[in-house]
Amino acid sequence: MQYIGKPAPIFRAPALVDGQFTYLGSMQFIGRWIAVCFLPYVGIVKPDFLDHHAAHLDQINTTHLIVSSGTRPLHRIWLDCPTTLNAPLLYGPLSRLHHTFRVALTQTPVRCQTFLINRVGLLRFHLIHDLTDYGLCALQEIVTLGQSQDTDGVAATDTIMDAREEVMNS
């Protein structure tokens, strides 16, 4: 379990974004909140469902990154689907993201684990929720509440790199 209030793990992974393969890393989202959502199996979800919730999170300055725990995270249905997923789908062929966040590869089929990282890179919340409208709306409410209570000011932004280096070297 990662520690709430400590620097979140630094990661960089291959990703499928708007139908194109690229690389995404946590450092490129400094200044925005990040919701890293580990789905049990990405093939059980329609792209429109996740895009709808990703759009709502984007309205509150939060990036929704999706990581599949299934054995085939870039499910063929999604790649052939006429609707391209807008929310980034991170791909971890060696399960490094799972190890980094200490998430088991096998999860309950409809339960997600989401880690909220604030705008300066601190882990703020770990939520286990259902993959439903209700579960994702609860996530949005938690982000909104966390943002309203976020006391990490500009000074924290200046020291976040030092904190990350300390964690990496320990």
pLDDT of residue 117: 92
pLDDT of residue 156: 42
Q: For the range 51-54, what are the long-range contacts, defined as Cβ-Cβ under 8 Å and sequence gap of 24 or more?
A: 51/83, 51/85, 51/86, 51/87, 53/87, 53/136, 53/139, 53/140, 54/86, 54/87
Residue 140 forms part of a structural domain: yes
Angle at the Cα of 167 (from 123 to 125), degrees rounded to 5?
10
Q: For position 19, what pLDDT does the model report?
A: 73
Question: Would 26 be classed as within a structural domain?
Answer: yes
Total domains present in the chain: 1
3-state secondary structure of 158: helix
- First vs last C-alpha separation in the chain: 16
Q: Which domain holds residue 46?
A: 12-169
* Residue 112 is assigned to a structural domain of this protein: yes
Position 21 scores a pLDDT of 81
User: Does residue 3 lie in a domain region?
Assistant: no
Residue 108 counted as domain residue: yes
Give domain status of residue 5, yes or no. Answer: no
| Per-residue confidence (pLDDT) for residue 161, from 0 to 100 | 47
| Cα gap 163→170, rounded to integer Å | 11
Of 1, 27, 4, the residue nearest 123 (C-alpha): 4
In a domain, 82, yes or no: yes
- What is the pLDDT tens value at each position of the chain, 170 positions in all? 568 889 998 988 888 787 778 899 888 998 899 999 888 766 666 777 878 888 888 888 898 898 876 555 455 545 555 556 677 888 777 788 888 888 877 666 667 889 999 998 998 998 888 778 888 888 888 888 888 887 654 444 444 444 444 444 44
Quick check: 12 and 24 in contact, CB under 8 A? yes
In a domain, 6, yes or no: no
Q: Which two tokens stand for residue 62?
A: 């939060």
Is there a contact between 129 and 148 (Cβ–Cβ < 8 Å)?
Answer: no
CATH code for the domain in which residue 161 is found: 3.40.30.10
pLDDT at 42: 65
